[in-house]
Amino acid sequence: MSVLIVTGTSTDVGKTITTAALAACVRGHVTVVKPAQTGAGDGTPGDLFEVTRLTGVRDVHEFARYPDPLSPHHAARLSGLPELELGEVVRRIVDLDALHDGPDDLVLVEGAGGLVVPFTATDGWTIADLAAALHAPAVVVTTPGLGTLNHTALTVGRLAEDGIRLAGIVLGSWPAEPDLAMRCNLDDLAALSPEGAVAGVLPAGMSTVRDFPGTARAALSPRFGGTFDWAAFRASVAGI
């Protein structure tokens, strides 16, 4: 199975842009899944529309959509629409994965909110439960600024508790002029990461760049098909 979960430390940390960047770097066939889209009504572009716009990837799948911009369990309840069943989500992702079995093929699954946000009110399953059921590793998208150390450590710790392999930590939006806290946090985030290196740093405003695939490759490490060099990046923002 070639499935990679994209989760985050919270909402609005850059999960969709990271998902698109990862998709742009896949050498084989890429399938992108968003189990639950919230905050978007029928006919309204959601996160998968953005992934397609940035990458051209059209093998995208949304399993449920709720109009209110809430966590999936609240959004489903308020809309009166059916909740997603974990077993059904797992089955559909496994079926999608089976359609393309090349060594470089990948199914990317973008979560909603953070790692333990409930998808249902009935059993409260989370993206962590989905990752565990699929035996899939997870990329954690986080912010660079003040507060990230606690949020990221808690997320990484929960992955370890649930036996989910951490594929890497990605900074979802790095500004042109990082503040002192951002620069100070880099080594701490690297210490939480596999191989002691952050796996990617996406520049702020990346959704508006002219060459998104090229920017994605430069922003993600070789483990994800990119050319990002953590040591060189870290040296470029030294001086704290």
Q: Which amino acid is at 58?
A: R
Q: Which amino acid is at 165?
A: R
Query: CA distances (Å), 73 to each of 55, 88, 182, 217, 239, in order?
Result: 30, 16, 33, 35, 45
The neighbouring-strand residues paired with 143 are none
Angle at CA 164, nearest 5°, toward 46 and 166?
A: 75
Angle at CA 45, nearest 5°, toward 39 and 50?
A: 105
Query: What are the phi and psi torsion angles at 185 (to 5°)?
Result: -75, -15
Residue of 15, 34, 151, 217 marked catalytic: 34
Compute the distance between CA of residue 148 and CA of residue 142 in angstroms, rounded to an integer: 7
For the question of residue 15 being annotated catalytic, the response is no
Catalytic residue numbers read 34
